[in-house]
Chain A
C-alpha cells in the first residue's frame, strides 16, 4: 500500500503541566484516592468466613450425586440400565446390573444395580447422568466439599450414594 500523508493521524497532546498543577496532582489527587480507600473501611467488610459460614447454593446447584429410593416402598429407583454411564462424558460411572428375584427384590424394575460406583475425582459435575436417567434414580445433590486424602476415597460406592447426605451446605431460600 502506498504511503498517503493524509492517513497519518496527528496526535494532539495537551501542554505539559506547570509546577503548581503537577504538585497539585501529586498531593491533591492523592487526597482523593485516600478518601476513596477510606470509604471502603467505613463500608465494612464483605467477607464470608468460609468454613464457619457458607454461601447458600441454588436449588439446581450440581453438587455430589445421590441415588434415590421410592419413599413408600423403600425400593431403589435405579434399575441398572447404565444409561447414566453411557451419557457420562468423563466416563466416571460404573454400573453392574443383576436380576431381581421375588426373594431378593432391590429395585422396582426387573433388574437392579449390583454395583454402582462414581469416581468423583473424574466427575465434571455436568449433570448429564441426571438427564439421562429415565427414573430420576440419580440426581445431583448440593454437597461440594469433596476433598479427601486418597484418590481411592473419592470413588463413591452405591451405599455412600444411597445414604442420606449430611446437609453441610445451606440451600438458598426463595428470594434470597
Chain B
C-alpha cells in the first residue's frame, strides 16, 4: 500500500475522524460569515451599510437567503444533460471543500497524551494537492456550463476554463519560489521555514503574482469573467437554481477561503506571530483565522475597486505580466538559494 501522507507520529484513527468533522464544521460556519462580511464590507466601500435588517446587525442574512433559495423549485432546462447537470455543482463543491484538508492551523499539540496535528493531514506533496483539486474543479465549471445546454452557460464555461488554465501557470510558478526557499513541499514545513522571516518580504513578487492568480482561480472580481453577470447573465451557472446554485456559490466562497488560507500559509507565516511572540498552541488556529480574515478582506477590497477585465486584458495580464514576473521571481530566488 502506498503511504500518501508522511505522518511521523502515531495518530489514532478516531482523532483523524474528529479532526475531519471539526475542520468541516468550522469551515461551514465560516462560509456564511464570510458571505455576510463581504457584503457588509462592500457596502462600506460604497458608502452604505450593506445588509443590516435580518437579525442583529444583519448577520442572519445568509440564513434567510439560504432558506429562500432552498425552498425554490428544482428545475432544469429540457436541453440539459441530466446526469452531468446534477453532478457538476457537486464536483465544484467537493473540490473546494477537499482542499481545506491540508491547510495547517497549528503545530502538533498534545491533548492528554495523544499528539494531534492541527491540520486535516500533512500531505507530503502539500500545495500540489491543492492544485490537483483546483484542476479537477475545472470540471465543475466546464461540465456545468456545457450540460446546461445554453449558449450563455457554455460561453461562461469556456471563458472560465481558459482563465483558470492561464492563471494556474503563473500561480504555480509563483509558488515554486516559496518551495525552493523552504526546500520542502509540506505546508507545515513551509510555515516552520518562515520562523526567521515571513516569505512576503523575500518573495514579495511571488506574493503579488500568487495573490492575483488566486483571485483569478477563485473567479473573483475583477477576474469574474466566467460569471460576468452583466454580459452572460451568470455564466456557467445561468441555468442553475435552488440548492445547486447554492452549491456553486458555496464552492466559490470556499475557494476564496482556501486561497486566503494558502496565502496565509505560504507568505504570511501561517500560525507564526511577529515580535518573538510565542502564544500557547491552542491560539494557533485563531492566528491563522485572523490572517485569513485579513486576506479575505483584501479580496473584497480589490473587488470593490477594480472593474471586470476585458477578455484580451485578462489574457495579456496573465501571460504578459504575471507569467514573466513569476518566472523572474523564480530565477532570482533560485540563484540566491543556490549561491
Contact = CB atoms under 8 A, between A and B. Distances in A.
Contacts, number: 42
A1 interface: no
Interface in A42-64: 43-47, 49
Contacts of A30: 302, 305-306
Contacts of B320: 22
Interface string B311-331: 000000100110011000000
B234 to A, nearest CB: 25
Contact of B44 (A19, A33, A40): A40
A12 interface: no
A152 B305 CA distance: 48
Interface of A: 19, 22-23, 26-27, 30, 33-34, 36-38, 40-41, 43-47, 49
B47 A26 contact: no
A47 to B, nearest CB: 5
A86 B49 CA distance: 47
B301 A38 contact: yes
A45 B45 contact: no
A43 B265 CA distance: 33
Given A34-B301, A37-B304, 16 more contacts: A22-B321, A26-B317, A30-B305, A30-B306, A33-B306, A37-B45, A37-B305, A38-B301, A40-B45, A40-B46, A43-B47, A45-B43, A45-B44, A45-B49, A47-B49, A49-B49
A27 B306 CA distance: 11
B325 A23 contact: yes
A19 B324 contact: yes
B110 interface: no
Contacts of B46: 40
Contact of A36 (B43, B44, B48, B305): B305
B47 A44 contact: yes
Nearest to A31: B305
B246 interface: no
A36 to B, nearest CB: 7
B208 interface: yes
Nearest to A38: B301
B296 to A, nearest CB: 15
Contacts of A26: 317, 321
Nearest to B43: A45
- Among all A-B residue pairs, the 4 with the closest Cβ atoms: A33-B305, A37-B305, A46-B47, A41-B44
Candidate in A33, A37, A38, A45 with the most chain B CB atoms within 10 angstroms: A37
B254 to A, nearest CB: 25
28 contacts: A19-B324, A22-B321, A23-B321, A23-B325, A26-B321, A30-B305, A33-B305, A33-B306, A34-B301, A34-B302, A36-B305, A37-B304, A37-B305, A38-B45, A40-B45, A40-B47, A41-B44, A41-B45, A43-B47, A44-B47, A45-B43, A45-B44, A45-B49, A46-B47, A46-B48, A47-B47, A47-B49, A49-B49
Contacts of B321: 22-23, 26
A49 B48 CA distance: 10
A30 B211 CA distance: 13
Nearest to A44: B47
A149 B47 CA distance: 34
A150 to B, nearest CB: 27
